[in-house]
A and B are shown apart, each in its own frame.
Chain A
Amino acid sequence: MTKEREKLNLIDTDIHERVSYEELLPYLENPWKRYITDCHWIQEKRMPYTQPAVAGVDRADARVPDGRPAGSDLGFMQKQLLDDVGHEFGILTGALDPSPSSMHGWYEMASALARAYNNWQIENWLEKDDRLYGSVHICANDVTEAVKEIERVGPHPKMVQVLLPIDDFMWGDPYYHPIYEAAQRHDLVIGMHHNEPPLYYGKWPRYFIEWHTLLPTSHMMQVTNMVFNGVFEKFPKLKLLMIEGGFTHMPHLMRKMDQQYKDLRHEVPWIKRMPSDIVREHIKFTTQPLEEMSKREFMQLIEQMGSEDLVCFSTDYPHWDYDSPFAALPPNLDEGLRRKIFSENARALYPKLPQSKGGN
């Protein structure tokens, strides 16, 4: 950047660090390691399109100069993102490859990958930059192992959330509730980030543009599922962050859930307050990918959500649909709201983040 510009003191709620399977090997035990070295195991992926932008799913200028994929080098990320923008903190959310909770079987392997990933993340990122905080990766489909892993790395001072990918599992199901109990006990937020949810009746639409347009619907499904399955009634301190779905769909969903609840309460008698109140108390949303809009349009959405405290800025670095903190929000937002979006809402969400700065 040629010009000096303001440093934002941003708390960035979605940064994707990337591991290669090779880097993960020293953190894996056998037989898991051998399945990769000898049998060339790679994680299942299903999406038929990986081409959205000039450099696939990454920002074309985020590839590491030595040729490694975007997000794989701490030094380069520090220079291009953390130092340039002026991050106060950044929350790492992984690159969903591997994504142990997305696997449809072989949960022993998935749990081993989660353990290895957490160790790699702590050693190579969290303990090397004070600004970076991390997500606990788990294999949610083996709940016992998942809870064990939360017990093992959850107490690490730089781990602030448990990551659940959005694919085709509905995470509000009571089967997964022990995960929320453990997260709550360790002051960890649940962070949900879509991986490859098959939005179209379990299939794929013909074009990426269709799938990407409707990604927020996968977030809406999880929010609805978590609310009506009583997760927040059972775990009153639990907080959820919906990552990379934006927030502009939420005014509709909150109103719709309220209206449904008035009619259909009898089916979910464990819900004893308006769903929109549950959302306001327990769930926050990241901004990216934010649609372009005027300040007036933006404020109308915030008003319809009934709170200025629900939206946290995220860049999604280093992906192609990165939102620049200098350009993504509508211009001239009131300073108080801007501060909330840039940092204070995230600070209030994560009890393990240092609480002192900002807050004015």
Chain B
Amino acid sequence: MRTVVCNKNDMAPGDMKEATLGRASIVICRTSDGEFYAFANRCIHQGAPLSKGKLCGAPEPTDKVGEYKFCREGEIIRCPWHGREFDAKNEGRTLSNPKFKLKEYKVEIEEDQVVVYK
């Protein structure tokens, strides 16, 4: 199954967009480096629609108590409900525990169109 989501230029780096693939709701992320990623639009915690959250950055893990180093802007999906963070560039794994991840879909750019495959 495939679906054409939009034109490549319809999404700027840092944008997030909801789409459907068959009966499934999916969320497309264009990360700050211009790449595209697609995930099931359903948080693995309680099912919130991730497209209503934020594609943002995060304070990176540090060894120093009290240190905030905000980075990865436009690469982290933060859930609209309880705020869990998913790394779009690392298979949608949660920052708190990389064992857990979102369901990911394959994205191809075909003649400037963003196409998602199942």
B32 at interface by CB-CB < 8 Å: no
What A residues does B54 contact at CB under 8 A?
Answer: 54, 60
A61 at interface by CB-CB < 8 Å: yes
**A323 close to B46 (CB less than 8 A):** yes
**A327 close to B47 (CB less than 8 A):** yes
B80 at interface by CB-CB < 8 Å: yes
How big is the A interface, by class? 10 to 19
In the complex the two chains form, what is the Cα distance from A2 to B24 in whole Å?
A: 8
A323-334 Cβ-contact flags toward B at 8 Å (1 or 0): 110111000000
Please report A residues at the B interface, Cβ cutoff 8 Å.
2-3, 52-55, 59-61, 292, 320-324, 326-328
Question: DSSP majority for the A interface?
Answer: loop
What A residues does B45 contact at CB under 8 A?
Answer: 292, 327
The residue in chain A whose Cβ has the minimal distance to the Cβ of B49 is: A61
**A55 close to B80 (CB less than 8 A):** yes
What B residues does A321 contact at CB under 8 A?
Answer: 81-82
| Given A53-B82, A320-B82, A321-B81; 6 other pairs, CB 8 A cutoff | A53-B83, A54-B54, A54-B78, A61-B49, A326-B46, A326-B47
The residue in chain A whose Cβ has the minimal distance to the Cβ of B54 is: A54
B67-83 Cβ-contact flags toward A at 8 Å (1 or 0): 00000000000111111
With A2-B25, A323-B46 known to touch, is A61 a contact of B52 (CB < 8 Å)? yes
**B47 close to A324 (CB less than 8 A):** yes
**A60 close to B82 (CB less than 8 A):** no
**A324 close to B80 (CB less than 8 A):** no
The residue in chain B whose Cβ has the minimal distance to the Cβ of A324 is: B46
**B20 close to A54 (CB less than 8 A):** no
The residue in chain A whose Cβ has the minimal distance to the Cβ of B20 is: A2
Question: What would 26 A/B residue contacts be, using CB atoms closer than 8 Å?
Answer: A2-B20, A2-B23, A2-B24, A3-B23, A52-B83, A53-B80, A53-B81, A53-B83, A54-B56, A54-B78, A54-B79, A54-B80, A55-B80, A59-B48, A59-B80, A60-B53, A61-B48, A61-B52, A61-B81, A292-B45, A320-B81, A322-B46, A322-B82, A324-B47, A324-B48, A327-B47
**B25 close to A320 (CB less than 8 A):** no
B17-54 Cβ-contact flags toward A at 8 Å (1 or 0): 00010011100000000000000000001111100111
Looking at B79, B81, B83, which has the most chain A CB atoms within 10 Å of its CB? B81
In the complex the two chains form, what is the Cα distance from A323 to B80 in whole Å?
A: 13
What B residues does A60 contact at CB under 8 A?
Answer: 52-54, 80-81
**B23 close to A322 (CB less than 8 A):** no
In the complex the two chains form, what is the Cα distance from A323 to B81 in whole Å?
A: 9
In the complex the two chains form, what is the Cα distance from A214 to B20 in whole Å?
A: 41
Q: How close is A355's CB to chain B, nearest CB, in angstroms?
A: 31
B55-96 Cβ-contact flags toward A at 8 Å (1 or 0): 010000000000000000000001111110000000000000
What B residues does A323 contact at CB under 8 A?
Answer: 46
What B residues does A326 contact at CB under 8 A?
Answer: 46-47
8 Å CB contact of B46 from A53, A61, A328: A328
**B81 close to A59 (CB less than 8 A):** yes
**B81 close to A322 (CB less than 8 A):** yes
